[in-house]
Amino acid sequence: MSAPVLQIDRIDSSDERFGRAKRWEYQVFGQGNGYAGADDDAAGEMCHFRRWEQSSEFFVGLGGDEQPVGIARALRATPDLGIDSFSTAYVAGQANLIYRDWQAFFATVSPNRVAELATHAVVASHRKTGVSEQLWRHLAQTLSSDGVRYVTVALAAPLFDRYRSRFGDAIEQFADILPGYVGVDSVPAVIDLELLKPGA
Protein backbone atom coordinates (compact mmCIF):
# COMPACT_ATOMS: atom_id res chain seq x y z
CA MET A 1 0.00 0.00 0.00
CA SER A 2 1.49 3.35 -1.01
CA ALA A 3 1.63 6.20 1.45
CA PRO A 4 -1.39 8.51 1.21
CA VAL A 5 -0.80 12.24 1.06
CA LEU A 6 -2.31 13.50 4.26
CA GLN A 7 -4.27 16.62 4.97
CA ILE A 8 -2.94 17.61 8.40
CA ASP A 9 -5.10 19.95 10.45
CA ARG A 10 -3.73 21.88 13.43
CA ILE A 11 -6.33 22.14 16.20
CA ASP A 12 -5.77 24.16 19.38
CA SER A 13 -7.97 24.49 22.46
CA SER A 14 -9.92 27.42 20.99
CA ASP A 15 -10.99 25.36 17.96
CA GLU A 16 -14.52 23.96 18.00
CA ARG A 17 -13.05 20.62 16.86
CA PHE A 18 -10.86 20.32 19.97
CA GLY A 19 -13.26 18.02 21.83
CA ARG A 20 -13.50 15.80 18.77
CA ALA A 21 -9.70 15.68 18.55
CA LYS A 22 -9.51 14.55 22.18
CA ARG A 23 -11.91 11.72 21.39
CA TRP A 24 -9.86 10.72 18.36
CA GLU A 25 -6.72 10.71 20.52
CA TYR A 26 -8.45 8.47 23.05
CA GLN A 27 -9.58 6.08 20.33
CA VAL A 28 -6.40 5.96 18.23
CA PHE A 29 -3.71 6.43 20.91
CA GLY A 30 -5.43 5.20 24.06
CA GLN A 31 -7.63 2.34 22.91
CA GLY A 32 -5.58 1.48 19.83
CA ASN A 33 -2.41 0.90 21.87
CA GLY A 34 -3.94 -0.33 25.11
CA TYR A 35 -2.82 2.79 27.00
CA ALA A 36 -6.29 3.92 28.13
CA GLY A 37 -7.22 3.30 31.75
CA ALA A 38 -10.58 3.10 33.47
CA ASP A 39 -10.77 6.87 33.99
CA ASP A 40 -9.98 7.46 30.31
CA ASP A 41 -12.64 4.96 29.26
CA ALA A 42 -15.22 6.67 31.45
CA ALA A 43 -14.36 10.14 30.13
CA GLY A 44 -13.68 9.23 26.49
CA GLU A 45 -10.38 11.13 26.59
CA MET A 46 -6.84 10.78 27.93
CA CYS A 47 -7.36 12.29 31.38
CA HIS A 48 -3.65 12.63 32.19
CA PHE A 49 -3.37 15.65 29.92
CA ARG A 50 -6.22 17.70 31.42
CA ARG A 51 -3.67 19.75 33.38
CA TRP A 52 -2.23 20.91 30.03
CA GLU A 53 -5.47 21.25 28.08
CA GLN A 54 -5.24 24.98 27.37
CA SER A 55 -1.70 24.65 26.01
CA SER A 56 -2.42 21.55 23.94
CA GLU A 57 -2.70 21.44 20.19
CA PHE A 58 -3.46 18.49 17.96
CA PHE A 59 -2.11 17.62 14.56
CA VAL A 60 -4.71 15.41 12.89
CA GLY A 61 -3.86 13.50 9.73
CA LEU A 62 -6.93 12.99 7.57
CA GLY A 63 -7.20 10.33 4.88
CA GLY A 64 -8.95 10.59 1.53
CA ASP A 65 -12.34 10.16 3.18
CA GLU A 66 -11.50 12.97 5.63
CA GLN A 67 -11.43 10.51 8.51
CA PRO A 68 -8.51 10.64 10.97
CA VAL A 69 -5.77 8.11 10.26
CA GLY A 70 -3.17 9.61 12.60
CA ILE A 71 -3.04 12.08 15.46
CA ALA A 72 -0.41 13.79 17.59
CA ARG A 73 -0.76 16.09 20.60
CA ALA A 74 1.84 18.79 21.26
CA LEU A 75 2.13 20.69 24.53
CA ARG A 76 3.34 24.27 24.31
CA ALA A 77 4.95 26.52 26.91
CA THR A 78 2.80 28.65 29.19
CA PRO A 79 4.30 31.46 31.32
CA ASP A 80 2.77 30.31 34.61
CA LEU A 81 4.08 26.73 34.33
CA GLY A 82 7.52 27.23 32.79
CA ILE A 83 9.21 23.87 32.24
CA ASP A 84 6.25 22.18 33.95
CA SER A 85 4.35 23.03 30.75
CA PHE A 86 5.65 19.68 29.52
CA SER A 87 4.15 16.55 31.02
CA THR A 88 7.21 14.32 30.78
CA ALA A 89 9.50 16.85 32.47
CA TYR A 90 6.84 17.62 35.09
CA VAL A 91 6.24 13.98 36.04
CA ALA A 92 9.95 13.12 36.05
CA GLY A 93 10.71 16.21 38.12
CA GLN A 94 8.00 15.44 40.67
CA ALA A 95 9.47 11.96 41.08
CA ASN A 96 13.05 13.34 41.30
CA LEU A 97 14.12 11.18 38.36
CA ILE A 98 15.76 13.79 36.11
CA TYR A 99 19.51 13.35 35.60
CA ARG A 100 21.63 16.11 37.14
CA ASP A 101 22.96 17.55 33.87
CA TRP A 102 19.44 17.68 32.50
CA GLN A 103 18.23 19.42 35.64
CA ALA A 104 20.69 22.17 34.79
CA PHE A 105 19.46 22.19 31.19
CA PHE A 106 15.81 22.57 32.16
CA ALA A 107 16.73 25.27 34.68
CA THR A 108 18.33 27.44 32.00
CA VAL A 109 16.55 26.76 28.70
CA SER A 110 13.72 29.08 27.74
CA PRO A 111 10.44 27.11 27.86
CA ASN A 112 9.50 28.82 24.60
CA ARG A 113 12.29 26.82 22.95
CA VAL A 114 10.68 23.58 24.13
CA ALA A 115 7.53 21.68 23.24
CA GLU A 116 6.32 18.19 24.03
CA LEU A 117 5.18 15.43 21.74
CA ALA A 118 2.65 14.13 24.23
CA THR A 119 0.93 11.50 22.10
CA HIS A 120 1.46 10.19 18.58
CA ALA A 121 -0.53 7.35 17.06
CA VAL A 122 -1.78 5.96 13.77
CA VAL A 123 -4.79 3.73 13.16
CA ALA A 124 -3.79 0.10 12.75
CA SER A 125 -4.66 -0.12 9.06
CA HIS A 126 -2.23 2.71 8.19
CA ARG A 127 0.79 1.88 10.35
CA LYS A 128 2.94 0.73 7.42
CA THR A 129 1.99 3.42 4.93
CA GLY A 130 4.15 6.37 5.98
CA VAL A 131 1.39 8.14 7.91
CA SER A 132 3.43 8.30 11.13
CA GLU A 133 6.42 9.78 9.30
CA GLN A 134 4.31 12.43 7.54
CA LEU A 135 2.64 13.42 10.78
CA TRP A 136 5.96 13.67 12.64
CA ARG A 137 7.67 15.69 9.90
CA HIS A 138 4.76 18.14 9.72
CA LEU A 139 4.71 18.58 13.50
CA ALA A 140 8.51 18.99 13.72
CA GLN A 141 8.57 21.53 10.89
CA THR A 142 5.72 23.49 12.44
CA LEU A 143 7.39 23.58 15.85
CA SER A 144 10.71 24.62 14.31
CA SER A 145 9.02 27.48 12.47
CA ASP A 146 7.59 28.58 15.83
CA GLY A 147 11.09 28.80 17.32
CA VAL A 148 11.06 25.45 19.13
CA ARG A 149 14.31 23.48 19.17
CA TYR A 150 13.78 20.80 21.82
CA VAL A 151 10.91 18.32 21.99
CA THR A 152 10.32 16.27 25.11
CA VAL A 153 8.67 12.89 24.70
CA ALA A 154 7.93 9.78 26.75
CA LEU A 155 8.58 6.68 24.64
CA ALA A 156 7.30 3.24 25.54
CA ALA A 157 10.47 1.54 26.76
CA PRO A 158 10.67 -1.10 23.96
CA LEU A 159 10.49 1.68 21.34
CA PHE A 160 13.37 3.82 22.59
CA ASP A 161 16.10 1.87 20.76
CA ARG A 162 14.12 2.12 17.53
CA TYR A 163 13.88 5.88 17.85
CA ARG A 164 17.55 6.09 18.80
CA SER A 165 18.41 4.24 15.61
CA ARG A 166 16.25 6.61 13.58
CA PHE A 167 17.23 9.91 15.22
CA GLY A 168 20.81 9.15 16.28
CA ASP A 169 22.43 11.75 18.55
CA ALA A 170 19.39 14.01 18.16
CA ILE A 171 17.57 12.06 20.89
CA GLU A 172 18.75 11.58 24.47
CA GLN A 173 17.21 10.09 27.58
CA PHE A 174 16.98 12.74 30.30
CA ALA A 175 15.60 10.81 33.28
CA ASP A 176 15.04 7.33 34.67
CA ILE A 177 12.16 5.28 33.27
CA LEU A 178 8.71 6.51 34.32
CA PRO A 179 6.72 3.49 35.57
CA GLY A 180 3.21 3.26 34.15
CA TYR A 181 3.35 6.69 32.48
CA VAL A 182 0.05 7.09 30.59
CA GLY A 183 -0.44 3.34 30.64
CA VAL A 184 3.08 2.07 29.92
CA ASP A 185 6.63 2.20 31.35
CA SER A 186 8.25 5.01 29.39
CA VAL A 187 11.66 6.50 28.68
CA PRO A 188 11.75 10.32 29.08
CA ALA A 189 13.71 11.80 26.19
CA VAL A 190 14.54 15.06 24.46
CA ILE A 191 14.76 15.40 20.67
CA ASP A 192 16.96 18.22 19.38
CA LEU A 193 15.28 19.28 16.14
CA GLU A 194 18.45 20.98 14.91
CA LEU A 195 20.39 17.68 15.04
CA LEU A 196 17.89 15.53 13.20
CA LYS A 197 19.15 13.54 10.25
CA PRO A 198 17.80 14.80 6.90
CA GLY A 199 14.48 13.12 6.22
CA ALA A 200 14.05 11.85 9.79
Would you say residue 122 has pLDDT above 70?
Answer: yes
On whether the CB atoms of residues 115 and 140 are closer than 8 A, the answer is no
| pLDDT value at residue 125 | 81
CATH superfamily of 7-195: Gcn5-related N-acetyltransferase (GNAT) (3.40.630.30)
Q: What three-state secondary structure class fits 63?
A: coil
Q: What three-state secondary structure class fits 38?
A: helix
On whether the CB atoms of residues 188 and 102 are closer than 8 A, the answer is no
Q: Is the pTM of this model over 0.85?
A: yes
163-199 pLDDT, tens per residue? Answer: 999 899 999 999 999 999 999 999 999 999 999 867 6
Mean pLDDT confidence for 7-29:
96
Which carries the bigger pLDDT value, residue 169 or residue 130?
A: 169
Is the torsion defined by CA of 22, 92, 170, 192 positive or negative? positive
30-42 pLDDT, tens per residue? Answer: 999 999 999 999 9
Which carries the bigger pLDDT value, residue 100 or residue 2?
A: 100
| pLDDT value at residue 126 | 79
Confidence class for position 131, pLDDT limits 50, 70, 90: confident
Share of the chain above pLDDT 70, in %: 96
| pLDDT value at residue 77 | 97
| pLDDT value at residue 2 | 57
d(CA 10, CA 30): 20
Helix (H) or strand (E) holding 184: strand 184-192
Would you say residue 130 has pLDDT above 90?
Answer: no
Mean pLDDT confidence for 99-128:
94
On whether the CB atoms of residues 72 and 117 are closer than 8 A, the answer is yes
Would you say residue 200 has pLDDT above 80?
Answer: no
Would you say residue 160 has pLDDT above 70?
Answer: yes
42-82 pLDDT, tens per residue? Answer: 999 999 999 999 999 999 998 877 788 999 999 999 999 99
